[in-house]
Copies of this chain bind each other. A is one copy, B any other.
Amino acid sequence: MFRGVSPINLDAKGRMAVPARYRDKITELCCGELVATIDTEERCLLLYPLAEWEEIQEKIEALPSFNPAARRIQRLLIGHATDLNMDGNGRLLLPAPLREYAELSKEIVLLGQGNKFEIWSEERWLATREEYLAEASGGAELPEELQNLSL
């Protein structure tokens, strides 16, 4: 599915040009209909093909709604999930509330992540990547599945 990193500039209207190498697949998967929402762990956005998102939303809605942690997740994820369509030039208009959440200004980064993309402010992504690298080289606390992973 999706992979790779793409530095992108938002234009003055808050639009993001989807890298051409993804466009055909996105058109094929969901006719250019995508859903963006927030990531609850990091200040970045998640971008799903519509069909992919709908499966996830079903799972989230099925959570027990009297459970406070589940209500939080529902409010955060479904509450921010916004439908987006690619325009004729293969661009997406990122809604202002989502841009504000992820602190996106001009320079952003699009990360392919399998069934979805992540959208980061470039500055925040570079800083977070450094943190990850530092933690990873600590080498401690890896779950068993990871320790057995051969690259």
Contact = CB atoms under 8 A, between A and B. Distances in A.
Interface of A: 3-5, 7, 21, 35, 40-41, 46, 56-57, 59-64, 67-83, 95-98, 111-114, 116, 118, 129, 132-133, 135-137, 141-143, 145-146, 149, 151
A78 B132 CA distance: 14
A116 B80 CA distance: 14
A140 B77 CA distance: 18
A68 B128 CA distance: 13
Nearest to A81: B3
Contact of A64 (B62, B71, B72, B145): B145
Given A40-B136, A74-B113, A64 B143 contact: yes
A3 B82 contact: yes
A113 B79 contact: yes
B76 A136 contact: yes
Q: Give how many copies assemble into the complex.
A: 2
Contact of A132 (B60, B72, B116, B151): B72
B112 A78 contact: yes
B79 A3 contact: yes
Contacts of A137: 40-41
Contact of A80 (B5, B73, B136): B5
Nearest to A131: B72
| Most interface-central of A74, A95, A135, A151 (chain B CB within 10 A) | A151
